[in-house]
Structure 1
């Protein structure tokens, strides 16, 4: 195999997402009705793609997002390296004004290049990248698997896309995302490089979003 295609998606919506509550890796929340509708819409749009393998984080919201594909008999594997960043003491907490200041300071530090700065009692972007590397190495080592579907999380996705595409982690916020958005990458084995084919695509959610606007 000369190339490998990766379809990387963020999980569907949970009630925590709806309420603006941080989940991180420590809150194992299920999809809500909207999240299930988003998952169904993505399945409807991409069920024709002959995925050779599905990879998810160990958190249930990623499994539920791709469950319809798994029910087709596509093999899947859970990798903890794909888990969301740990937001430490902020997980499961409804943000208030003081929390807004905390997050602002954190993001400003990361954007300034201090990506070794961890969340309080949680992880730094560099720590997340360190645990993502063996997960991606494992996926790429399966040279007979293409395309693959990878279901993961928002901040972890930003970190992953940054280093896969050769950007410093300080620029991770350039990779916008929403629930059940799609990024598609192609890995070329000969050069050992990734190219970005599709970014933050949500066209498959048009019917879901249109229904909500009625």
Structure 2
């Protein structure tokens, strides 16, 4: 008997007052959604479709938990610590302009996969953590026999995750998305067990234009 696919909707949290200021905002900064960010999510929910889910798995950070409440007020919610934003250490809350002459910042940029900000985590550790969080979600869905769920997380978390385990194969920045947007993914149990890969099937919310030109074509290839 064929095993049933699992459907997961990966959605970036709504806007905060700190977004767009060019600051490194990681797990040490925990702003709530701005009033405009909440209104924007409500408009998206009103005019487009976020498919129904049985459970929402959210980063424990306020902006993600609040987004889950706005988009899926009637669904259950589980927070997953591994899906929190990256730890930028001493660079947290600072801008590129402030840091550009800092030798530790220059060293970090030269190889952020291996090098970590002072007091922070490097790219490899961040990715391992995020993939571990995704495995927890999938194992929980399988254990509870849930076939439709959403993950509400941060842009960097979703981009890194899809670059690591998403099909079609794309670089990190090819998976950019606006606040409140994201991707529908299918997890085929055989493909996951064999290759640890998931299939990106579409853009969320359904009916909204993508923040990245050509992304629809990339997903269809």
CA distance in 2, matches of 1:51, 1:100: 44
Alpha-carbon spacing, 1:18–1:123, altered in 2? closer, same or farther (3 Å): same
Alignment of 1:180-199 (within 5 A): 180-192=180-192, 193-199=197-203
Q: What is aligned with 2:111?
A: 109
How large is the RMSD of aligned CA atoms in angstroms? 2.8
State which drifts further: 146-155 or 54-63. Answer: 146-155
CA distance in 1, matches of 2:84, 2:159: 12
State which drifts further: 195-204 or 148-157. Answer: 195-204
1:88 Cα deviation (Å)? 1.1
1:59-96 C-alpha deviation (Å, 9 max, x unpaired)? 00001112134432x11100011101111112123x15
Structure 2 gap ranges (5+): 211-221
Is residue 55–residue 150 contact of structure 1 (8 Å, CA) maintained in 2?
A: yes
Structure 1 gap ranges (5+): 207-214
1:129 Cα deviation (Å)? 1.7
1:149 aligned counterpart, secondary structure: strand
TM-score computed with the length of structure 1 as normaliser: 0.79
Alpha-carbon spacing, 1:18–1:133, altered in 2? closer, same or farther (3 Å): closer
Mapped pair 1:172 → 2:176: no
TM-score computed with the length of structure 2 as normaliser: 0.77
Number of residues of Structure 1 aligned to a counterpart in Structure 2:
198
Alpha-carbon spacing, 1:203–1:31, altered in 2? closer, same or farther (3 Å): farther
